[in-house]
Amino acid sequence: MELCCPGWSWRKLCAVKDKLKQGYCGDWWLTHGGIYIIKAGYTWLGTSHNNVNWNPFVWNRLSPPKHCFIGWLVVHGRLLIRDRLHKMHICEDIACCICGNQDESHAHLFFECAYSRECLSLINASLKINVPTGNVVQWWLKLRMRSILRKQMIGAVIQALVYRLWDMHNKCRVEGVLMRPSNLILLVQQDIRLRLQGLNSCRKISGLYKAWI
Ligand SMILES: [Zn+2]
């Protein structure tokens, strides 16, 4: 009988199982506070992980979950962008499928590409902010604003832009279509408006930001 090599997911599950087994076999749970609960198990498994400072940016309550998820993949550099696909021997061409001028990477797409830079400059102009083309998360973390809600909204706008750029990139790659930057910004505005309406937070936003959505 031919034996198959186990996949990555299965190997990871087995590794977690072996680690949890230590907790049970050595009565670790009993000697450290009693019965097993999921929270304690999660903390126990995650003790070797370093804390990250991008949590408030990625897991922003004003961002819809799908935006947070794409933002989380971006901070880990895990989107299936052409430079990664090339390393996996999945694609030969690594030129950006939007501009075609440079290699496609996370840094290029967010926001060195001429197309994404133009989208970002439209956001900057309309909200009177100055989001840079690199180190966006660090820029946001250092941003000092009187209103926490406004700061959260700026973070959500950037994350919505990242989501829409990724969506546009995929459409461009598959269908060969590219939307005007101004139309893409309309989608970003719509995403933020719907999210704020869903959270009933529209009335708390005022001035320029309210007018924008
Ligand atoms: Zn490009």
First to last CA, the chain: 63
User: Nearest CA to 158 among 143, 174, 177?
Assistant: 143
> What spacing in Å lies between the alpha carbon of 168 and ligand 1's midpoint?
12
Residue-wise pLDDT tens digits, 156-170: 999 999 999 999 999
Identify which has the larger pLDDT, 98 or 35: 98
Q: What is the DSSP string of 119-146?
A: HHHHHHHHHT----SS-HHHHHHH---S
> What spacing in Å lies between the alpha carbon of 97 and ligand 1's midpoint?
7
Alpha helices in the chain (DSSP H): 8-25, 28-31, 38-45, 55-58, 65-75, 82-87, 106-107, 114-127, 136-142, 148-175, 181-198, 207-212
User: What does the block give as tokens for 197?
Assistant: 């309406």
> What spacing in Å lies between the alpha carbon of 171 and ligand 1's midpoint?
14
pTM of the model: 0.80
User: What does the block give as tokens for 185?
Assistant: 């910004």
User: Nearest CA to 161 among 209, 111, 203?
Assistant: 111
Residue-wise pLDDT tens digits, 39-87: 777 777 776 667 889 999 999 999 999 999 999 999 999 999 998 888 8
> What spacing in Å lies between the alpha carbon of 25 and ligand 1's midpoint?
54
Please give the backbone phi and psi of residue 95, each rounded to the nearest 5 degrees, phi first. Answer: -70, 145
Identify which has the larger pLDDT, 46 or 213: 213
